[in-house]
Amino acid sequence: MTGQFAYPSDREEASAKKVAALEALLIEKGVITPQTVDKVLAYFETEMTPLNGKKIVVKAWTDPEFAEKVVADTPAAIAELDFPEGMAGAEGEHLKAVANKPGVHNLVICTLCSCFPWPVLGLPPYWYKDPVFRARAAREPRKVLAEVGLELPEDTEIKVWDSSGHSRWFVIPERPAGTEDFTEEQLMELVTTESMIGVALAGAPS
């Protein structure tokens, strides 16, 4: 995928100049303030981050009742946890969790664009937005997963969720074996954005 970024060197410089000019003009004209963009970015660094998703997954691993509820009624289950207000905010108005279990693996995609559950996972990484991934994961998910290092048993059912409506989907991965004695902090380290979208297992080397 790296070839995707091999463009003439002034391509990026031109875009950087253009967006800087646009932002400066919007500030001068009173559309936004000199701090608006920085405040938006800070919000994604502090509040809408994958840390929220990791907490939800670890809670599901350690509390069977929560594990059931987070799939049955995701917003209500998340509302019970100790998060600041905002878990039902932009791109999280209708969160929907699906849980992996022995013999069932879930994969979330968005073939039309890049719908992503911002409050629990933050912003989508580039691979999720990559047209090649979006195109192929719909048709040949098993092959795509194997290419990125996730070889599933032949009899494991793959459920692919194309985010074409109002829900923003994420995956509760399975808790890795041998982690019975792990602390919550140790468990959280096993959970990645990739595992919460379904292109990796929790605990897989990243």
Partner 1 sequence: MKLQHYLGGLEGLPEIESLEKRVFVQDWEKRIFGIHVAMMGLSNHLGSALPAYPIDEVPTTFKDEWTWADLRTGAEAMNPFDYFKYRYYEKWLGGITQFFLDKGYVTEEELAAKMAESEPVDAEVKTEIDDQVIAYLRYGDDPRRDVAHPKFAVGSTVRIANRPAGSHSRLPGYLRGRTGTVEHIFEGDYAYFVQTGDGIGDPMPIYIVAFDPVEIWGPQAEDGPETLYAELFEAYLEPTEENA
Active-site positions read 110, 113-115
Provide the sign of the torsion angle of the four alpha carbons 167, 203, 68, 158, taken in this order.
Answer: positive
Q: Which of 63, 72, 76, 89 binds partner 1 (CB under 8 A)?
A: 89
3-class secondary-structure state, position 109: strand
Of 144 and 182, which CB lies nearer to partner 1 in the complex structure? 144
Applying CB under 8 A, does 154 fall inside the site for partner 1? yes
Strands 157-162 and 104-109: parallel
Applying CB under 8 A, does 159 fall inside the site for partner 1? yes
Q: Which of 51, 71, 99, 138 binds partner 1 (CB under 8 A)?
A: 138
Applying CB under 8 A, does 51 fall inside the site for partner 1? no
Q: Which of 10, 155, 181, 185 binds partner 1 (CB under 8 A)?
A: 155
Applying CB under 8 A, does 101 fall inside the site for partner 1? no
3-class secondary-structure state, position 128: helix
Which amino acid, 16?
A: A
Of 51 and 158, which CB lies nearer to partner 1 in the complex structure? 158
Residue among 85, 86, 109 nearest 158 (CA)? 109
Per-residue tokens: 31: 């559309």
- Kindly identify the residues of this chain, within the stretch 164-183, that bind partner 1 according to CB under 8 A: 164-167
Which residues lie below 8 Å from residue 39, measured CB to CB, with a gap of 6+? none
